[in-house]
């Protein structure tokens, strides 16, 4: 891989990110129509989110091309993508469409040398992701965890705390998140922090704030009931405690950002000194008192 070529060409593409993503999906589905079923039905409506997710991941990679820890991130990404029902052959199709989109968007800034650099880079990215998916499969990790809703508490019209019991043990660290999907909205996944440290009964809490126009958050807050079964993706994220135990902690949270902070507090020894600041626009927003 040539970091200089990759970063300079990516900077050009990034300025036209919206067009790049539209071209990418058009190219992908035109040449691989069978892949359309793996994406949300209302993909056009969700295009802004898809753009942000794709370019956030690419930006992360561009910033860490020389980082020896990058392969671990990519393997984790491959592990997570199993929930989308991706297969090895899909990676080649995505790579072809991604490079085709970048070539069109970059215009005169694209060259044979640039294409060679991106082809090599994508091969490395895909190989690491496939390794991560293979490792998860080898260890018997499910594509997702089915989790029954065992408790539901509403806080006003726009927020709910859901307690779930995964049917298989979910191993995670306090502060991490999982992606969530409801069967009535297949292929729509959103990340939510786990709001508790691991428990003996294996249950986990999700704090869900309804976003105006949000498909999944509305379904979780207004239509999810006790007995429903949700799907949880593999835990991820690095919002975990790294401060030595002999140092006091200061924790700051706003809204449902309280969820991972609550999990971190539960992890602490009761004698550990900690200061907590909860921020809200209105006293009514300080739920879970």
64 φ, ψ to 5°? Answer: -125, 30
CA 4 – CA 250 distance, rounded (Å): 40
In this structure, are 51 and 18 located in the same domain? yes
Kindly report, residue by residue over 239-248, the tens digit of the pLDDT: 998 766 678 8
The first and second tokens of residue 69, run together, are 């820890």
CA 65 – CA 196 distance, rounded (Å): 34
Kindly report, residue by residue over 99-157, the tens digit of the pLDDT: 999 999 999 999 999 999 999 999 999 999 999 999 999 999 999 999 999 999 999 88
Q: Percent of the chain, pLDDT > 90?
A: 81
> Of 103, 138, 173, at which residue does a domain stop?
138
The whole-number pLDDT of residue 243 equals: 66
In this structure, are 224 and 83 located in the same domain? no
In this structure, are 243 and 165 located in the same domain? yes
Give the domain CATH number at 132.
1.10.490.10
CA 171 – CA 235 distance, rounded (Å): 8
pLDDT band at 159 (very low <50, low <70, confident <90, very high): very high
Domain that holds residue 51: 3-138
Look-up: residue for tokens 């294409």? Answer: 115
**Domains identified in the chain, total number:** 2
Q: What is the mean pLDDT of the chain?
A: 93
In this structure, are 99 and 198 located in the same domain? no
């Amino acid at each position: 891989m040539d970091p200089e070529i990759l970063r300079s060409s990516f900077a050009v593409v990034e300025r036209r990110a919206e067009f790049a993503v539209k071209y990418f999906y058009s190219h992908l589905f035109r040449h691989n129509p069978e892949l359309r079923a793996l994406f949300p039905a209302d993909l056009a409506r969700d295009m802004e989110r898809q753009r942000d997710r794709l370019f956030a991941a690419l930006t992360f990679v561009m910033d860490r091309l020389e980082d020896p820890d990058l392969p671990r991130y990519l393997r984790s990404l491959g592990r997570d993508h199993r929930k989308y029902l991706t297969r090895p052959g899909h990676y080649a199709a995505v790579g072809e469409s991604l490079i085709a989109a970048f070539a069109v968007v970059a215009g005169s800034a694209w060259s044979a040398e640039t294409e060679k650099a991106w082809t090599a880079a994508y091969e490395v990215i895909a190989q690491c992701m496939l390794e991560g998916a293979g490792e998860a499969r080898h260890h018997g990790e499910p594509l997702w965890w089915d989790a029954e809703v065992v408790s539901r508490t509403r806080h006003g019209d726009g927020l709910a705390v859901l307690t779930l019991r995964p049917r298989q043990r979910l191993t995670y660290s306090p502060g991490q998140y999982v992606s969530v999907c409801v069967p009535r909205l297949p292929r729509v996944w959103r990340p939510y922090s786990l709001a508790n440290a691991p428990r003996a009964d294996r249950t986990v809490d999700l704090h869900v704030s309804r976003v105006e126009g949000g498909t999944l958050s509305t379904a979780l807050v207004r239509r999810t009931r006790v007995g429903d079964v949700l799907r949880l993706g593999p835990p991820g994220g690095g919002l975990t405690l790294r401060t030595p135990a002999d140092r006091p902690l200061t924790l700051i949270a706003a809204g449902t950002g309280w969820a991972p902070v609550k999990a971190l507090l539960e992890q602490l020894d009761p004698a550990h000194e900690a200061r907590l600041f909860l921020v809200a626009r209105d006293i009514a927003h300080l739920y879970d008192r």
